């Protein structure tokens, strides 16, 4: 049990000390992970698992939407807001219908955005 407590403390500390950019990447990792787990839930016909993971993914997208700075971000922020809104609505639909194809569509967007932000982060670090 002590190992579990140490792991939890380490994870908490890594979140509290992460840069904004690193936190963004961590959220994208979570978004991709939760959509994949929701898809597994659909495949396994585990409605609860699918639902819980869709909700987690939806909450991450809502966080992205809430933290976009529309004034500073200009056209990029507007485009991201439209994409996030679309992804959110599609995840709600995928959750309601337990539709794997819709979830996979959103997963594609999430993975592409994650890769884009990872590349930007790598360039920022140089």
CATH code of the domain covering residue 91: 1.20.120.340
Domain assignment present for 115 = yes
Give the domain range for residue 107: 19-125
What total number of domains does the chain contain?
Answer: 1
Handedness of CA 101, 107, 113, 116 (dihedral sign): negative
The token pair at 109 is 């967007």
Domain assignment present for 101 = yes
What is the tens place of the pLDDT at every residue in 66-111? 999 999 989 999 999 999 999 999 999 999 999 999 999 999 999 9
Per DSSP, helices labelled H in 1-126 are 2-16, 20-43, 47-67, 70-97, 100-125
Domain assignment present for 111 = yes
Domain assignment present for 10 = no
Measured between alpha carbons, how far is 80 from 27 in angstroms, rounded to an integer?
A: 15
For residue 27, is pLDDT > 70? yes
């Amino acid at each position: 049990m002590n190992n579990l407590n140490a792991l939890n403390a380490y994870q908490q500390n890594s979140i509290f000390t992460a840069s904004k950019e690193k936190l963004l990447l961590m959220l994208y990792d979570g978004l991709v992970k939760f959509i994949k787990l929701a898809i597994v839930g659909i495949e396994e016909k585990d409605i609860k698992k699918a639902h819980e993971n869709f909700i987690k993914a939806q909450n991450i997208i809502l966080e992205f939407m809430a933290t976009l700075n529309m004034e500073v971000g200009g056209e990029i922020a507007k485009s991201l807001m439209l994409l996030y809104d679309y992804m959110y609505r599609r995840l709600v639909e995928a959750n309601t219908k337990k539709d794997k194809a819709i979830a996979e569509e959103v997963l594609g967007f999430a993975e592409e955005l994650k890769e884009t932000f990872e590349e930007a982060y790598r360039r920022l670090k140089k």
